[in-house]
Amino acid sequence: MVEYFVYFIITFVLSTIFAIAGLGAGSGLVPTLNMVGLSFEMARVSGLFVNSVSTITTSILNLKKQLFDMEFVAPLVISSVILAFFGAKISLMMDVEIVKIIFGITLFIIASMILFFKPPNKGTDKNSKALLIFAGSIGGFFSGFLGIGGGSIISPILLLLGYDIKKIAIGISFVIPFSSIVAFGSYASVIELNYTLLVIVGIGAYLGGMLGNYLLHFKISPNAIKNILAIVLYLIAIKMLFL
């Protein structure tokens, strides 16, 4: 039971911190759970489950408020779902150590984007299906392949393409549950699930997400948190690649 308590605390803390920064916790949660003893496969499943839990509620609320631009969201959802399935299947056929190396390199890239990337001042409202499918495909593939939220990949791509940051934030909240659920199903079909673990990390993610969203509106600076997150991701990447 001690290990479950450790998994809960890790999930709660990371979900809280990442929520303050407006990011999904999967990129930090998966390698951290693996480092404290959880198998890499189960860590990825847990990360995908957490991504689903933490974004479904937001998606439903935004859907009720009719905040989604379906011409913008639909290409992202369709492409990310298809590639998430293939990403998970390819990952399951590869050596775990190779996947960890790819994960570490991806963390370096994500951390660098968080730390150094500055979004354009002006966004575009044009919905180019080709560009949206491209962004959704890349994000979906990595969501399935690594067990992380595709939002951390899709958002920077769309920002680089000039899309408005608020439009991206709302749209991505609707994309992540679909790609995460599909990837989760792909892993669940071939490995034995630990349902007790999933319930515990799910509760930790939900509570952490609520606390992070609450703290976001007070004195904690999201920019300061993002800088801390970037450093943490760099350290995790170094651990995965070299130690």
**Span 23-64, pLDDT tens digits:** 778 888 999 999 999 999 899 999 999 888 777 766 776 677
pTM, two decimals, is 0.82
What's residue 134's pLDDT?
A: 93
At 190, list the tokens. 């071939």
Q: How far apart are CA 2 and CA 8, in angstroms?
A: 10
At 56, list the tokens. 């479904």
Question: Quick one: which of 205, 152, 141, 158 has its CA closest to 13?
Answer: 205
Residue 217's pLDDT band (cuts 50, 70, 90):
low
What's residue 116's pLDDT?
A: 83
Q: Are 111 and 148 in contact (CB under 8 A)?
A: no
At 71, list the tokens. 């011409």
**How much of the chain exceeds pLDDT 70, in percent?**
91
Look at residue 207 and tell me whether its pLDDT is greater than 80: yes
